Structure 1
Amino acid sequence: MKLKFKIQPYQTNAVESVVDCFAGQGNTSGPAYRIDPGVNRKLLTQGPALPGMDLEQSGFRNADLRLIDDQLLANIHAVQRRQNLPLSDKLASSAGCRVNLDVEMETGTGKTYCYIKTVFEMNKRYGWTKFIVVVPSIAIREGVLKSLEITAEHFTESYGKKARFFAYNSRQLHHLESFSSDGGINVMVINIQAFNATGKDNRRIYDELDDFQSRRPIDVISGNHPILILDEPQKMEGTKTLSALAKFRPLMILRYSATHRTTHNKIHRLDALDAYNQKLVKKIAVRGISVKGLAGDGAYLYLESIEISKKAPVVRIEMEVRQGGGIKRIVKRLERGRDLFVESNQLDQYRGFVIAQIDAVKDTIEFTNGVEMSAGEARGDITERTIRRIQIREAIRAHLEKEQVLFAQGIKVLSLFFIDEVVKYRDYSQADEKGEYARIFEEEYERLKDEYLSRLPLDGGLYQAYLKGIQVGRTHNGYFSIDKKTQKLTDSSIRTRGEEAGLSDDVDAYDLILKDKERLLSFEEPVRFIFSHSALREGWDNPNVFVMCMLKHSDNTISRRQEVGRGLRISVNQQGDRMDNPTTVHDVNILTVVASESYRDFVGNLQREISDSLSARPRKADEAYFTGKVITTEAGTVEITTDQARDIEFYLIQNGYVDRNRQIVEKYHEAKAHGTLAPLPPELVPHGDQIFGLIDSVFSESQLPDVGDDRKPKTNPLNANFGKKEFQALWSRINRKAVYRVEFDSDELIRNSIGALDKELRVTPLQYTIQSGIQNEQITDVQLRVGTGFSLTKTSVQTHQASIHSGVAYDLLGKIAERTQLTRKTVAEILSGIQPAVFGQFQQNPEHFIAECSRLINEQKATIIIERLSYDSIAENYDTDIFTASQSKQDFSKASGKLKNHIYDYVITDSQVERNFVKELDTSADVVVYAKLPRGFLIPTPVGDYNPDWAIAFREGAVRHIYFVAETKGSMSSMELRAIEQTKIDCARKFFAKINSGIDAEQVRYDVVTDYGKLMEIVCR
């Protein structure tokens, strides 16, 4: 298989945040210079190549930054304002460089892809060609090289050129020669050990080398004036490393991490909350193990789970059973009233353990002797070996549950086990070399595989054949360091001191799981379960890790967030396509963590770590926070005034959405999720989405990602309502697939766009702040240390009306065509038609001009799309499997009570609006049957697939329209509906109009409703 890449808006935003900081730089190819031939050992870094210079000795360095500090800071402020980040008060200098930019991106969101794309964009816009990616370990180095390799074709399609890349090796310095002498994009990847460690090979970068014409590699590198990209910079903050980085003479330093420790000029933020809320990473679920009672204390019991059956809930419980060969631990499936004394073949420790109550909602059971247990709880004779066996079993069970669902979608499921010692997996003292964990795994896997095969239909399905066809010995493997003398697996070498503490330099361990990640993702590769050392962290990633099992003691060298980060990436199918459909992304992408601690403890610690990582987020939603924040209006980008900020704060206070310290409380987030937020003051309503976005940026504990208990979801099978003739008649009417066509007149789009641009295009000129100061009459040592020896005397703001960008080679047509997905010809006709004074604004601020032009043209395009959109039916229907495939696991914490008219016994609702709607549907005398439509039922639209909420069949004669498809919204106001939601609704109206045109009998009505009363008002018309 081959991984595919696509242009994603959130990654494009990260790239533009960097490149826009250098607006006005101009596109200038790097000046030629002479590479020291080894005679005078001095680089000539000025001017053109000398006459008669050998081409092999000429190089091309990055052009210098032409922008002064005030211009750079103004650009950085513009980028920070549009993301509502705190404004930097000055350029942050570090490692001998005046430009140091921080890019914060959560693990799993593709920061490596982003900085590779930034390389291409910086070259395209400014002509820079020399880039060095600095990484803290060999593992990360290998990961970066792999990313450069697999994205090469993707970026060639986008930019029409390739980047030459290599890993720095002091024994292969011919690559360094090419790095300097080649005029194209060149990327060198170097790990910090190569220039700040004390080993003989590591010192070579500073030595005059005979095999390098008596030159020093560091001089050749620094002569290129490279752009440094630091991957995981928090590992490179030591004085020694920063001093070494200064010797590279960097043009600028770009720092990419999810966890910056030291802040410079932060110009982009995509933190854990942003990534989760935007569904850019997997959702997390946890299976914890709670141990009660000491070893040997009472009867051994482990409550695996509670299942919902057609008759009554049953429990899966592991207990000891007397057999002919002795006492053995066995998992039994028992219902209420069963006596464990009898089930154990009369073991005395189980006297009085009769199951008195099974609570499927709370996941608890109670025995007649008063003992209560929760799912995931173990008690009695519990040893560490017992806990590890339970963990391995739960990991295999979670794997098979996911695999059974995802196999049909072409998604391979991988599970990752973290262990402390190689000997627990590979024991060379044993004849078969299997360690304790390998033996336990094979025993539990064979038992659970047989159990799952017995549940599958006997028709020889593809998944059944897949499961049967993999031998247990080939489906797991260990990835550890290799002892070069014995060629046997060995424990990783872990640094325990200094800035690199906790890092491993293993490289041999990564061949299949990193270098050959595409093969590991293929069904043809039998390995599905990976055992590796607990040190495996930054640098390793595979998008299809769905289960992680921590078979090790908790320690402080690796946080839970770092461990979980190895499995957060969005999965891919066998075609290499990302499974990131916004409607279904968190149905498919759920990472199960099997922890060695209780669910409550693991989740509490994980959320505490996430909360600590969000320290840079504002904590107070007060007037001071909102004042000056940027919002977009019809007139352009404006700042929130003090009066508006005061109104927002009062709105939050008035409705109880903040506490006395102005911190957002849970009431706000609940109301937002349920669609019941109090209306904003009328003057703020037009900016509602942006204002609520600002409020959401303020941190609150209730905003942390919802980490679910993986045992809570249970099977929710279809019931008899699904077979009712009324529902089958409704399903036959809506079970249609279609494709859309958009036919619009280009001339009309051109006319409308010209009119909109002439009327609404307003570009903000760049503003610069000029400050004057004077040295104090007397200066103390303290003032010198803290930098207060001068007093500010004057501040003025000046606006540049004339062009300061005349030297920039902007591809104006290309940029707007790219952002609007129109041809260059169409864009040229639009721009040539607008008023000269309007077009003249381009000179004042080209970047803002391009952005505003693109936005206004896209608005006109969207209007025409809706007007000209039409659907064509195709000869294809949905299979009824979508009712079971996409709803095979349900989170019952969001379920109402057992229902009588729904096609499932339970329905999982997303908001209070839906909960109220369900209650009235289920008690209505006019409703025969209804369904929450499965996530797999999708209507294609130009702005993304759309999944309607409800399908309802009414009693014949009770209402005018018997069949109805409804979308429930908390508000009907088009101003309060997001533009993308409104567009999808408009498209859905056209879709149902099309399928109704082919129905002679009672047609299906589609509409948006706020509640049951509104629904009945519409259907009775």
Structure 2
Amino acid sequence: MKLKFDPTLEYQAHAISAVTDIFEGQPFAQTGAAAFQALQIGGLFQTELGLANRLVLPDENLLKNLRAVQERNDIEMAEALQGRDFSIEMETGTGKTYVYLRTIFELNKLYGFKKFIIVVPSVAIREGVLKSIEVTKAHFQTLYEKVPFDHFEYDSKRLGKVRQFASGNQIQIMIINIDSFRKDVADKDLSEMTEDELKKLNVINRENDRMSGRRPIEFIQAANPVVIIDEPQSVVSTDKARRAIANLNPLVTLRYSATHRDTPNLIYRLDPIEAYDLRLVKRIEVASIREENSFNDAYVKLLKTDNKKSIRAQIEIHADASQGPKAKKLWVKQGDDLFIKSGERETYRDGYIVQNIDCTPGSEYIEFNQGRFLELGQEVGGLGDDVMRAQVRETVEQHLKKERSLRGKGIKVLSLFFIDRVANYRVYNDDGSTSLGKIGRWFEEAYAELSAKPIYKDLIPFPVSELHDGYFSQDKKGQAKDTSGTTKVDEDTYSLIMRDKERLLDPSEPLRFIFSHSALREGWDNPNVFQICTLNETQSVDKKRQEIGRGLRLPVNSDGERIHDETVNRLTVIANESYDEFARTLQTEFEVDVGVKFGIVDKIAFANIRRPDDQGTDVPLGQDLSAKLWQHFVTEGYLAEDGTILDKFDPKNPHFELSVPDGFEGVRTSLVDEIAKKVFKNRVANARERRELKFRKEVQLSEEFQELWERIKHRTRYRVEFETDELITRALNRIAAIETIRAPRISTTVVGVDISEAGVSVDRQLASRTEEIASAKVLPDILGFLQKETELTRHTLASILKQSGRLDEFKVNPQAFMAAVADAIGRALHDLMLEGIRYDKVPEQSWEMSRIEQEAEKGIVRYLSNLYDVQNREKSLFDAIEYESETERQFAADLDNNEHVRLFVKLPSWFKIDTPIGPYNPDWAFVTENDERLYFVRETKSTLDSEERRTKENQKIVCGRRHFEALDVDFDVVTQLSEVEFNR
């Protein structure tokens, strides 16, 4: 099985262009003989040690480009350039590694840069990057016309690859761990170091006879590489690491992470909220496993020990509270009596005085009088094992449910268990044999019980022993061991996991349940992990984001194709804590790690909401009106003075209506949606807060529904027709509108520097000049380029270019001209395709009404938090409607309560119309009766302004309109029901 990659994802294209557009104005590199005649021109130049990247743009141009990119991506524009480090923030699971690998090829394509270094913080991430390059190689070779490139992992024993990196005339990608070059050389000159001091340096910083007496780092420095840092919060966390990165002599540094500590020159942000909203990652469910009302015995659990200031231990006990006993964590020292600490609970009266605490790493324990003794993670009187056993069973059941629902779709289901003691899963006996630990036994027992049920029987055709396995680091005797995940022995484990990635995705491979100790904490994920269960006896050191990050990526099927079905893409976390605790902890981590301000509405939050002006044109409210609205919501009690959302704002309440000033009634729902975006609490769904929708057979059999379905059920096929002459005319009009293509320029500014007690400052500008770079000596194949970009014939393209009258500009700046012309022709072609698309009924093909009932019989389960309860049950097929926005909720309520609406239905997800840019699923179908009975299909959007909607949304709406025209069905886009004309 080979993974497939979609090169058309809009958010990834934005992340890539955010980087490439920073270099706008940088000329393309000369190659071959021409490069040696124009060494100072373009993106490459010759050095004593090989070929190097070269950046000719001055900082003021970089700042201008930076501000343009930031404005486009809704990021506060920088006043000044923070060095040449640029930050890209992408949520876990959205393809960060793919994005920076493709950015490498784009930078080469646009500017000719060829030297790239990827710096990683750990073995796990290094292995992940190497695997990503391996699985994307064929994909990138197709996208970039088999452009040659060489990639390698830095190895101090293979320094010839470093020399090749410097001298090679094709794309060079070095992957290196920060530990390989972090040992500092900044404090002392090499000539002053003793022999012992030199030996302590990383090999990369030592002189080497095989490198002509030079240090390997010199070859890297001479190449002036583009440095890509994967997880910079781990790579450059110290001054020594930052000096080490600077010592690489980077052209620029690109920082990619989901959890930046600082973001110099931030140019792109895809935070967790946006990733969830765009459905780029799985939605998270939490199955909470908690012991309740188990307060009969004296319960003590040792969580941790500490000896930094004094010897103490953190324990968990049951303490009396106003509402009854509750679990409580507290620190104790020698001599403390748990009878007192618990609020004098009788169960702790005898034998629970702390006698001894040992903080020795690996053998921590606490001892009480009368001989009671607990090691780290152990407990007495609680239900720890019972909770973990229940977690295992819940995980197996969730897995089998998912297997059953995805049977026949070619999607393999994986479940991941985190454990903190290898022996809990697998025991190594003295005679060399192995046996299952308690968790392993619990798993096989749960699987045997659940798989025997008729609903799951014969679902998975493999014996249980082949379904589960552990990934653990091993000692010299081949026995698995508890490790930190960063030791040398972990390397083989990481390599094995990464090599197994495609095998794990193959449905014919039995392994489905994966147990891991430390190997999967970072750097590894698998798109088909649908369940994650953490079974820690000790306090978990992993963060929630780190744990769930292993399963956030969207799944793939057996053909390697990514799945975008929202009913499939759900990650269930089986937790031994309440849903509220899980959500609260996760939210805190988002706030700390990403800087997301939950529940805070900015004064300019409503600036982009549009409403008609006096001439009837939709215009944005702007920042001033936004601030006035914000103050109104503060006065009305929806927001606090700091923008915090207060309890009065409760759109889930069926009686809620947002108070707005006069004149803003038309944008009420948009304002509700904008505020609701800032409320994160409903985005982590409780797996137990779901309900099955009730199907109303009598509505399906009604005359209204039968007639409605008869009108809309027909399938169609589309065809596109346009005249070549019309395409040429439109392309010429768009090319004529392109701004004049200018030659690349170098700008020089001379300033005076004043040094005083106040500091160093620019005193005055002495001179400035700009110089255009000479035209390219060798022109690229423009027809070949345009043919690849547009798929038009060379004859048509040649006609367009000849008639454009602008070919002279091609000589001035070939790359800029080709890109602008390709874009103009592409837009003209796009317009014609939409205008020329026609739909025709396909005889004998339609959507079967019976499919709705079949789905209802299987059970349609939806989240309570996103359901509108239908009041007039005779109007709807189901007793509730799932909605995704306040606009949809309000539309459902209006349909429900309008006396003229006889019946309405939210069209099922499988009701899809084929279009050239993917399937389209319209929103609503309904029947009205006033003077006559009418049948409608409507798409609901928060705005009628097509400029405010995404391009693909508009394209699909156009196609939907043509489809329903072919069926003679009334179709339109509305924001509210009042826009529908019931009388004809």
Pair in the same fold by TM > 0.5: yes
Change (3 A) 1:1005 1:742: same
- Asked if 1:493 is matched to 2:484, the reply is yes
Q: CA deviation at 1:597?
A: 1.1
Aligned letter for 2:462? I
Aligned letter for 2:911? F
Q: Which residue of 1 aligns with 2:839?
A: 871
Once the two structures are superposed, the pairs formed by residues 875-894 of structure 1 within 5 Å of their partners are 876-878=845-847, 880-881=850-851, 888-894=860-866
Once the two structures are superposed, the pairs formed by residues 556-705 of structure 1 within 5 Å of their partners are 557-580=541-564, 584=565, 586-615=566-595, 621-622=602-603, 645-654=623-632, 659=639, 661=641, 663=643, 665=645, 701-702=678-679
> Hey, what's the Cα distance between the residues in 1 that align with 2:747 and 2:258?
31
Q: Which residue of 1 aligns with 2:149?
A: 163
- Asked if 1:275 is matched to 2:268, the reply is no
Structure 1 SS opposite 2:405: helix
Q: CA deviation at 1:130?
A: 1.9
> Hey, what's the Cα distance between the residues in 2 that align with 1:282 and 1:441?
25
> Hey, what's the Cα distance between the residues in 2 that align with 1:980 and 1:878?
24
Q: Alpha carbon RMSD of aligned pairs, Å?
A: 4.8
> Hey, what's the Cα distance between the residues in 2 that align with 1:713 and 1:842?
64
> Hey, what's the Cα distance between the residues in 2 that align with 1:536 and 1:265?
31
Aligned letter for 2:595? S
Q: CA deviation at 1:938?
A: 0.9
Aligned letter for 1:480? F
Q: CA deviation at 1:572?
A: 0.9
Structure 1 SS opposite 2:181: helix
Change (3 A) 1:615 1:811: farther
> Hey, what's the Cα distance between the residues in 2 that align with 1:134 and 1:444?
44
Identify which range, 552-561 or 6-15, moves more after superposition. 552-561
Contact 1:139-1:507 at 8 Å conserved across structures: yes
Change (3 A) 1:234 1:807: farther
Q: CA deviation at 1:842?
A: 11
> Hey, what's the Cα distance between the residues in 1 that align with 2:923 and 2:967?
18
Q: CA deviation at 1:895?
A: 2.5
Contact 2:749-2:769 at 8 Å conserved across structures: no
Once the two structures are superposed, the pairs formed by residues 698-777 of structure 1 within 5 Å of their partners are 701-702=678-679, 706-716=683-693, 718-721=695-698, 724=701, 726=703, 727=705, 730-731=708-709, 733-756=711-734, 758=736, 775=754
Q: CA deviation at 1:280?
A: 1.5
Aligned letter for 1:433? S
User: Which structure 1 residue ranges, 5 or more long, are not aligned?
Assistant: 33-45, 50-57, 94-98, 299-379, 457-463, 496-502, 632-639, 997-1003
Contact 1:611-1:704 at 8 Å conserved across structures: no
> Hey, what's the Cα distance between the residues in 1 that align with 2:57 and 2:266?
19
> Hey, what's the Cα distance between the residues in 2 that align with 1:529 and 1:168?
34
> Hey, what's the Cα distance between the residues in 2 that align with 1:645 and 1:213?
63
> Hey, what's the Cα distance between the residues in 2 that align with 1:769 and 1:224?
24
Identify which range, 659-668 or 723-732, moves more after superposition. 659-668
Q: Which residue of 1 aligns with 2:169?
A: 183
Aligned letter for 2:921? N
Select which of 64, 68, 74 maps to 2:58. Answer: 68
Aligned letter for 1:932? K
Aligned letter for 2:575? A
- Asked if 1:444 is matched to 2:407, the reply is no
> Hey, what's the Cα distance between the residues in 2 that align with 1:612 and 1:732?
54
Contact 1:493-1:504 at 8 Å conserved across structures: no
Identify which range, 195-204 or 232-241, moves more after superposition. 195-204
Structure 1 SS opposite 2:560: coil
TM norm structure 1: 0.73
- Asked if 1:234 is matched to 2:233, the reply is yes
Q: CA deviation at 1:83?
A: 1.9
Structure 2 SS opposite 1:489: coil
Q: CA deviation at 1:203?
A: 3.1
- Asked if 1:135 is matched to 2:120, the reply is yes
Identity of aligned residues (%): 36
> Hey, what's the Cα distance between the residues in 2 that align with 1:592 and 1:757?
51
> Hey, what's the Cα distance between the residues in 1 that align with 2:516 and 2:143?
37
Select which of 939, 943, 952 maps to 1:967. Answer: 939
Q: Which residue of 2 aligns with 1:36?
A: none
Q: Which residue of 2 aligns with 1:409?
A: 409
Q: CA deviation at 1:867?
A: 2.5
* Matched residue count: 855
Q: Which residue of 2 aligns with 1:517?
A: 501
Change (3 A) 1:576 1:86: same
Q: CA deviation at 1:114?
A: 1.1
Q: CA deviation at 1:995?
A: 4.1
Structure 2 SS opposite 1:87: coil
Change (3 A) 1:537 1:811: farther
> Hey, what's the Cα distance between the residues in 2 that align with 1:493 and 1:723?
59
Change (3 A) 1:892 1:925: same
Q: CA deviation at 1:745?
A: 1.7
Q: CA deviation at 1:655?
A: 6.2
Q: Which residue of 2 aligns with 1:222?
A: 221
Identify which range, 13-22 or 922-931, moves more after superposition. 922-931
Q: Which residue of 2 aligns with 1:319?
A: none
Structure 1 SS opposite 2:155: coil
> Hey, what's the Cα distance between the residues in 2 that align with 1:179 and 1:416?
39
Change (3 A) 1:828 1:248: same
Q: CA deviation at 1:863?
A: 4.0
> Hey, what's the Cα distance between the residues in 2 that align with 1:230 and 1:650?
43
Deviation digits for residues 632-673 of structure 1 (CA, Å, limit 9, x no counterpart): xxxxxxxx99x9543443354456698464737479998899
Q: Which residue of 2 aligns with 1:3?
A: 3
Contact 2:123-2:494 at 8 Å conserved across structures: no
Contact 1:738-1:873 at 8 Å conserved across structures: yes
> Hey, what's the Cα distance between the residues in 2 that align with 1:233 and 1:967?
44
Q: CA deviation at 1:64?
A: 2.5
Q: Which residue of 2 aligns with 1:434?
A: 436
Aligned letter for 2:549? G
- Asked if 1:931 is matched to 2:922, the reply is no
Contact 2:54-2:251 at 8 Å conserved across structures: yes
Select which of 55, 69, 85 maps to 1:79. Answer: 69
Change (3 A) 1:938 1:406: same
Q: CA deviation at 1:446?
A: 1.8
Q: CA deviation at 1:200?
A: 7.8
Q: CA deviation at 1:481?
A: 0.8
Q: CA deviation at 1:988?
A: 1.6
> Hey, what's the Cα distance between the residues in 1 that align with 2:662 and 2:832?
32
Structure 1 SS opposite 2:158: coil
Change (3 A) 1:254 1:48: closer
> Hey, what's the Cα distance between the residues in 2 that align with 1:763 and 1:665?
49
> Hey, what's the Cα distance between the residues in 2 that align with 1:235 and 1:493?
16
Change (3 A) 1:972 1:215: closer
Deviation digits for residues 598-635 of structure 1 (CA, Å, limit 9, x no counterpart): 10001011012112334388977447x999x9x9xxxx
Once the two structures are superposed, the pairs formed by residues 389-428 of structure 1 within 5 Å of their partners are 389-428=389-428
Deviation digits for residues 660-702 of structure 1 (CA, Å, limit 9, x no counterpart): 647374799988999999999999x9xx9xxx99x97x99852
> Hey, what's the Cα distance between the residues in 2 that align with 1:964 and 1:866?
23
> Hey, what's the Cα distance between the residues in 2 that align with 1:89 and 1:471?
64
Deviation digits for residues 909-946 of structure 1 (CA, Å, limit 9, x no counterpart): 33455445545655778766543221121112234322
> Hey, what's the Cα distance between the residues in 2 that align with 1:918 and 1:16?
39
Aligned letter for 2:508? E
Change (3 A) 1:555 1:468: closer
Contact 1:31-1:62 at 8 Å conserved across structures: no
Change (3 A) 1:514 1:249: same
Change (3 A) 1:795 1:281: farther
Deviation digits for residues 16-35 of structure 1 (CA, Å, limit 9, x no counterpart): 22222223332225799xxx
> Hey, what's the Cα distance between the residues in 2 that align with 1:909 and 1:754?
45
Change (3 A) 1:295 1:668: closer
Aligned letter for 1:183? N
